[in-house]
Amino acid sequence: MALRMFVSRATKSARNLVVAFAFVAISAAGVSAQATGTVTGLVRDAATLEPLAGAQVSIEGTGIGGLANNVGRFLLLNVPAGSQTVIVTLIGYSPGAETITVTSGGTGTADFNLHEQALSLEGVVVTGTAGQARRREVGNVIESVTAGDIQMAAVTSFSDVLQGRAAGVMISTGEGQVGAGSAIRIRGNASLTQSNNPLIYIDGIRMEVNPITARDEARSQVTALDGINPADIDRIEIIKGPAATTLYGTEAAGGVIQIFTKRGSAGAPAWTFTFDGGRSRMGHQGPSDASQVKSMSNAWTEDPANASTYPTGDMDVDYLLGTGAINENGLRLNDCASGGTNPGGAYPAEPGCPGSGSWFRDGYMTRYNLNVRGGGETATYFVSSRFSDQDGTVKPQGAKDYNVRGNIQFQPTDGLDISLNNMYTRRNITWIPNGNNASGLFLNVLRGTRGYTPGNDDSLVLDNDIQTAVNQWVTGLSVGWSPNQSFSHRLNVGMDYSYTDYTDFKPYGNYENPTGDRENRNAHDRNLTFDYNGTFSYDVSDGVSSGFSWGGQLYEEYSGGLRGRDEAFAGPGEQLLGGGTLPRLDEDRLTVRSGGFFLQEQIGLGDRFFLTVGNRWDGFSTFGEGIGLASYPKISAAYTISDESFFPQIDAIDGLKLRTAWGRSGRAPGAFDAVRIYEATQADEFVPAVIIGNLGNADLGPEVSEELEAGFELSMYQGRFGLDFTWYNQKTLDALIRVQEAPSFGTEEATLRNLGETKTWGTELTLNFVPVRSDNIEWSVSGSYSTNDSEIIDMGPLQNLGFSLRVGQPIRVEYDEVLSNFGAVGVAPQWNNEPLGVLWPTKLFSIGTRLTLNQSLTLDVLGEGQGGHVRTIGVGWATVRRETWPACFGILEEWNANGRTNLTTQQQATCAPPHSSWGAWTDNADFFKIRSATIAYRLPDNWVPRTRSVTLSLQGKNLFQMTDYQGLDAESYDTGAGGNTPFEYYNMGPPKVFIFNVRMNF
Amino acid sequence: MRDWTRSAGVMPVVAAFAVVMSGCDLEIQNPGSILDEDLTTPELMPILVAGVSAEYNDIGDRFAFFTAILSDDMTGSGSYGSTQDYRQGLFDWEESETFWEQAHEAAWAADQAFQRLGEVLPDVMSNALSARVMMLMGHAHMRLGENFCDLVYDIGSAQARSVAFDSAIAAFNLAITIGNAAGSGADEYVMSARAGIAQAMVGLAVHGGGSWAAAATAASVVPTDFVDYAIYHAQANSNQIWIETHNRAEYGVWGTRAQRMGDPTLTDPDPRTPYTICGTWDDPDPINPSPDAGVTSTGCSSGSGAHQGADGLTAHYRQDKYPERGSDIPRVSGLEMRMIEAEAALIAGDMAAFIGFVNEARASFGDNAAGTGLVLPALTAPATAGSLDWPYEFPAVDGWSILDEERYANLWLTGRRWYDLDRWDHPFLDGGFLAPNVPGSGALARRASCMPVPKNECELNPNLADSSICR
């Protein structure tokens, strides 16, 4: 029997079985019957020997079956005596089968170690309709990340979970301080002016996707997503692009991320305790040896078409450094205790240098996770808690997180499934001032005596007390109702609420403001979800099925807060707003509502070909009066061609699915954009006033993205080889662009209009391969590669919008200076402006491998690369202007001695303070990092009494990096998680993290 | 089973209907914004007019701040990209966008407000609010005319700068007419408008359509002690010059004419250009200082980079003309009126009258500064008109050098010096530089002295498609 047929049958039969369910008390299950016996056993992951709860177990040909309980055990009663075949199936794993002899009144045992399956067409995913869909029915690609992936990885925040684990999904950290959020892009940027963030749902409830704090003194932002405990995640599904997200409507054009947390399962309480002890360490900042200093390059200099201007393809700068160490102090971050030399002569040790001699420290981490799952026939639960205490790599930076979750499921009657999911997180983050900030640590240290601190005592900036406290509550009620096999309904109601308290306190006596300065921001962010979906499925005729789906959603997002500031306090102490002499206060409240509904019909032919047609209609509070409901159609087809009789019967091929999808989705304009309003302000001697706020546009509608994607999914060698390929082409029509009249009309206020058009396209490839699989050794390799290109087709009357948006160029480019007199010696640089490259990665790739020996020792490594983009090293540009960038010391010496006489234009453009050019400092930012490396050992059973299993592991994060980028870190940039035009400006890169992990199941 | 099926069918219909109804009636709830249709009652008109004042204030300190770096009022010592360019006299059509937009908006907002006043107020032509609006409109046109090389209105074609002065005069005259009808409550606005007319007449005398005699006549009706301020407040529209010099050190007095005039180490520093030395150069050669020599703080009490510029290099000589976040910036003053009369006399060759106006202003300043005990001594009438100089003539002896210095001192940091350099074709524009440690900055062919029509106007205005003013 071909494996695909086996899987299909097993799944169908298992679904229809009447479950005889027993729990942990196996010892009490002695059942005797005439000519029948009992079958029991344990289902585990073959690689890790972790129990697999929920695996479906059946006796072939008998209708007898059940589910493995929460510790992987199963018990089947009244099994006819004789030879019986026990079959085990679980989505994501290859099925197992074993023949045993059952004796009358006896107990037979069948244990199963299931292997993960690279690609399964029978796996189920969530598509926006009421029920789950099998992958074979879905016409678009859906990526999945499982709990197994997360458990093995070096993860310090939720952002880490997605890094390098899904093709086309980019996670960009920005600032490496503990607690800083990340930006997420799926298939890059498609919108010119609106958010390119994906929508995020957790257990069906929409979460806030934008940073929940504004850019602050740390130049970092906090995201709601990082409030989720990674250990609570069961799986994540990523839906990419408008062709797949149509049913999610307006705002879904950037993709959708669905997070599903763990659920309870029947059985006695099964506990898991995890302890992490870790250490973060910052590597050397900047080059320390002349051999590490390289000429910078970007897409423009490397373009063969520009070889006549830049013949070497790069800046071709001789840094005049000779060989060896170029500066014993690096950039004074790693070693500030001793002096050094630069072109101006000797400089002393930093007055405020910590006693360790470095501004960095080893940041220690302790983290405890405890969760329990269990339950009975009608109710199950999953309860977890976490405490995490992480130090940053600069004192006093760090974060303490507390997280609890309670997921409860009820099945009061057949067909009715009620889930109540609750999460509460409290996060206390202490920042250091950093980034593009006159009070920033890196800025002042790197600028040496030309920083802003009195006497060059940069420790003074650390007196600035910057705190963010986040309280976050996510609650959701999910009711699934399947009154019969045809109907299914799903209702999700819930809320994601966060309260953020940010304080920035410069106490009395502060060097910048001797009488003190305090800023406080209290922000509330609340997302409400009401989501109802229904599906009616039936067989039209033999081999023809129909699935009709409908649904409606209401969302409300409220954000509000108070921002206050005061200064000139009377004296020392923890002063509050109002205690000074210059209090100022701003209040914001904003509510945006949207509602929509959809209809969808899916026709299936022979369980091989599925055609899906649907449409969504959306209303939105930010649309103009003349818009009404926005309409988003979709159509997709999925064809498991390998099931056809004409398909060559090749044993090696398990399944081949072809798929294609076309659909539309949208992005909504901002809250104020459609209406003419005045803003309240103050004028003169603090009297109330109004000024024009927005001219309004009654015809303002959503920008609509449409996408065509096609691809295939191939599974071979009994699930040991999987290949998933996707090509997509996306157009954003009616792109929202803020266009003003010619300013002589009278107002500078620009009006948002649906005028633009953009195009993005690319490919995605995912590969999973298990070259070796035996009882004692399993070695798997995985990888992904994706591209994302873009072009701005039209911007209405505009040819450019700022420097980074230009017609005919990719979305978000660095448009800056290139030399027009490259190579000339003794003359000042001359410039032209050209597009130097795209600011966001256009190529992503990952490669991972896992080797497991004797089901106990596992080595797991995941590396990720991002490339095809440039980043301006603003930190170099600005530091050169202070003559304190070590790589430029050679050229600076020559500049100070002889001016430009002996210097090329490119040497001046890079290192001569008055000529240092932002464009010359725009460098290719390609990099590859080992995101996670883990070696784990599962202790032999019974080594630790009263436990089911104990695993020890050593994990490392960002241990290794390859890049030619000349800044501090190719990943860091200044504007935190919300920046559209990233550039590096005295930001901290992510540190290396080492974690010792103990995981106990009991 | 049948009941289940029936209810299962009803449920989605009800839900979908509810969603549709909700989706069709989604209102924005954004408290804080005021809808256009709500601004229709007389009691709301004062806040509308205050908004016009706020619009003007946006350009009042902006022009004063940035043109100070473009002229010889201040040395750019900061890290803003614009500061780095402006200190070298560089200014292109992308940089002029915000200035152009805000100046036009200040005039447009006044025009919009005047129309709204006409719809709401029964006595629009005799109401002090109307007089204030037209006065503010006139000054907005003045900032356009003085600072831009060419003018465009209402998405039209390029026009000469004089059109801005004509527009200003029309607005000022209407302000005077309304103000006179309104009575004493509008006296301040009327006087500001009269002074504004004198400023505009200077513009017309320079660019055609007017005369110095007319300018002097207009100026003569304004008392020397009159000042009309753009009003700033610590908790509202703060004075950007204060922010950029006291709160941070984006520019300073070091290296400027004011440094020498107001040198606090002198026994008789000029009180019109006050400043504090917050940092002293460690390097004996501050024109090309050693990077590690640094600057030693003298103890200024606040602001990041209080002792040195935000460029991490320049010793911070902090202006004290505007000592507070809420310090007001003069729009027009009687001191300037005396300068206009003095310049007219100088052009006419009447040295006695010239020095009379100059000394009247100096005496008036002394009176105003009585609290400080500072009194400016009277100057002797110059023998000749002479010419403008760069480097400056110290002490100023000839007529033009005296006028140059007196206008500089009386109008320092009010956003007016750049226009003086432009209309005088001052030799400072040919190579004068205030950018230490910037080799080559002194070799510019010529510093920018007015702002080009910005790029976005050229792109968005079809009447400028082939205009020579668009580069």
What percent of chain B clears pLDDT 70, i.e. is strictly above it? 85
In chain A, the residue whose alpha carbon lies closest to the alpha carbon of B460 is: A742
- A815 three-class SS: strand
What residues of chain B lie within 8 A of the CB of A594, using their CB? 23, 26
Is the Cβ pair A621, B233 closer than 8 Å?
no
Q: Which of A345, A675, A690 sits opposite B51 (nearest CB)?
A: A690
Is the Cβ pair B290, A344 closer than 8 Å?
yes
> Looking at residue A570, what is its pLDDT?
86
- Nearest chain A Cα distance for residue B461, angstroms: 5
- Nearest chain B Cα distance for residue A618, angstroms: 7
Chains A, B: CB contacts within 8 A come to 290
Mean pLDDT, residues B125-135 taken together:
98
Q: Which residue has the higher pLDDT, A119 or B313?
A: B313
> Looking at residue B440, what is its pLDDT?
42
Mean pLDDT, residues A363-367 taken together:
96
Query: For testing the chain B interface, which of A529, A530, A537, A748 should be mutated: the one with the most B CBs within 10 Å?
Result: A748
Which residues, numbered 30 to 59 in chain A, qualify as contacts with chain B under a Cβ-Cβ cut-off of 8 Å? Answer: none
A414 touches chain B (CB under 8 A): no
Q: Which of B24, B53, B304 sits opposite A439 (nearest CB)?
A: B304
In chain B, the N- to C-terminal Cα span, in Å, equals: 79
Q: Are A770 and A780 a contacting pair, CB within 8 Å?
A: yes
In chain B, the residue whose alpha carbon lies closest to the alpha carbon of A346 is: B292
> Looking at residue A12, what is its pLDDT?
39
Structure token digits, residue B205: 């005398």
What residues of chain B lie within 8 A of the CB of A587, using their CB? 32
Q: Which residue has the tokens 């030879």?
A: A83
ω before A396 within 30° of 0 (cis)? yes
What residues of chain B lie within 8 A of the CB of A826, using their CB? none
Give the least confident one: A528-537, A834-843, A863-872, B282-291.
B282-291
Residue B26 scores a pLDDT above 60? no
What residues of chain B lie within 8 A of the CB of A917, using their CB? none
Query: For testing the chain A interface, which of B41, B44, B153, B302 should be mutated: the one with the most A CBs within 10 Å?
Result: B302
In chain B, the residue whose alpha carbon lies closest to the alpha carbon of A550 is: B12
A821 touches chain B (CB under 8 A): no
CA distance A685 to A671: 31
Which residues, numbered 721 to 740 in chain A, qualify as contacts with chain B under a Cβ-Cβ cut-off of 8 Å? Answer: 739-740
Q: Which residue has the tokens 């300018």?
A: B215
Structure token digits, residue A191: 């919108």
Is the Cβ pair A342, B18 closer than 8 Å?
no
What residues of chain A lie within 8 A of the CB of B100, using their CB? 743-744
> Looking at residue B441, what is its pLDDT?
44
Is the Cβ pair B30, A589 closer than 8 Å?
yes
A373 to A270, A999, B83: CA distances (angstroms): 5, 16, 63
> Looking at residue A929, what is its pLDDT?
96
Q: Which of A672, A676, A743 sits opposite B101 (nearest CB)?
A: A743
Is the Cβ pair B104, A747 closer than 8 Å?
yes
Mean pLDDT, residues A656-678 taken together:
87
What percent of chain A clears pLDDT 90, i.e. is strictly above it? 56
> Looking at residue A265, what is its pLDDT?
85
Residue A141 scores a pLDDT above 50? yes
Q: Residue A35: which region, alpha, beta or left (left: phi > 0; alpha: psi -120 to 50)?
A: left
Tens of pLDDT, residue by residue over A546-592, are 999 999 999 999 999 999 999 888 888 888 999 888 888 888 888 88
Is the Cβ pair A620, B101 closer than 8 Å?
no
The amino acid that residue A441 corresponds to is L
- A358 three-class SS: coil
Q: What is the DSSP letter of A336?
A: -
Q: 3-state secondary structure string, chain B?
A: CHHHHHHHHHHHHHHHHHHHHHHHCCCCECCCEEEHHHCCCHHHHHHHHHHHHHHHHHHHHHHHHHHHHHCCCCEECCCCHHHHHHCCCCCCCCCCHHHHHHHHHHHHHHHHHHHHHHHHCCCHHHCHHHHHHHHHHHHHHHHHHHHECCECCCCCCCECCHHHHHHHHHHHHHHHHHHHHHCHHHHHHHHHHHHHHHHHHHHHHHHCCCCHHHHHHHHHCCCCCCEEEECCCCCCCCCHHHHHHHHECCEECCCCHHHHHCCCCCCCCCCCCCEEECEEECCCCCCCCCCCCCEEECCCCCCECCCECCCCCCECEEECCCCCCCCCEEEEEHHHHHHHHHHHHHHHCCHHHHHHHHHHHHHHHHHHCHHHCCCCCCCCCCCCCCCCCCCCCCCCCCHHHHHHHHHHHHCCCCCCHHHHHHHHCCHHHCCCCCCCCCCCHHHCCCCCCCECCCHHHHHHCHHHCCCCCCC
Which residues, numbered 532 to 571 in chain A, qualify as contacts with chain B under a Cβ-Cβ cut-off of 8 Å? Answer: 532, 534, 550-554
* Per-residue pLDDT band at B435 (split at 50, 70, 90): low
What residues of chain B lie within 8 A of the CB of A483, using their CB? 4-5, 7-8
Q: Which residue has the higher pLDDT, A48 or B381?
A: B381
Residue A266 scores a pLDDT above 50? yes
Top mean pLDDT of A39-43, A422-426, A686-690 is at A422-426
Mean pLDDT, residues A786-794 taken together:
96
Q: Which of B154, B231, B311 sits opposite A744 (nearest CB)?
A: B154
Is the Cβ pair B51, A691 closer than 8 Å?
yes
Query: What is the enclosing helix (H) or strand (E) of A878?
Result: helix A874-880
Is the Cβ pair B47, A693 closer than 8 Å?
no
A5 touches chain B (CB under 8 A): no
- Nearest chain A Cα distance for residue B455, angstroms: 10
A607 touches chain B (CB under 8 A): no
How high does pLDDT run on average in chain B? 86
Tens of pLDDT, residue by residue over A204-260, are 999 998 888 766 888 888 999 999 999 999 999 999 988 888 888 888 889 999 999
A348 touches chain B (CB under 8 A): no
Mean pLDDT, residues A385-393 taken together:
97
B23: how many CB neighbours lie within 10 A of its CB?
A: 24
Beta pairing class for A256-261 and A199-202: parallel
How high does pLDDT run on average in chain A? 88
Q: Are A276 and A367 a contacting pair, CB within 8 Å?
A: yes
Please name which of A501, A506, A500, A435 lies closest in space to residue A464, comparing C-alpha atoms.
A506
A999 touches chain B (CB under 8 A): no
Is the Cβ pair B109, A692 closer than 8 Å?
yes
Mean pLDDT, residues B93-99 taken together:
91
A979: phi then psi, degrees, rounded to nearest 5: -75, 135
> Looking at residue A326, what is its pLDDT?
72
Tens of pLDDT, residue by residue over A480-527, are 999 988 899 999 999 999 999 999 999 988 888 888 899 999 999 999
Q: Which of B47, B100, B312 sits opposite A447 (nearest CB)?
A: B312
Angle, CA of B102, B108 and B113, to the nearest 5°:
125
Tens of pLDDT, residue by residue over A603-651, are 999 999 999 999 999 888 777 777 778 899 999 999 999 999 999 988 8
**Which residues does residue A611 pair with via DSSP β-bridges, in sequence order?**
A603, A637
Mean pLDDT, residues B261-270 taken together:
84
Q: 3-state secondary structure string, A975-991?
A: CHHHCCCCCECCCCCCC
CA distance B172 to B178: 10
- Nearest chain B Cα distance for residue A180, angstroms: 25
Residue A674 scores a pLDDT above 90? no
CA distance B202 to B211: 7
* Per-residue pLDDT band at A782 (split at 50, 70, 90): very high
A684 touches chain B (CB under 8 A): yes
Tens of pLDDT, residue by residue over A50-88, are 888 888 899 988 888 888 888 888 999 889 999 999 999
> Looking at residue B32, what is its pLDDT?
63
> Looking at residue A343, what is its pLDDT?
66
> Looking at residue A568, what is its pLDDT?
86
Q: Are A620 and A668 a contacting pair, CB within 8 Å?
A: yes
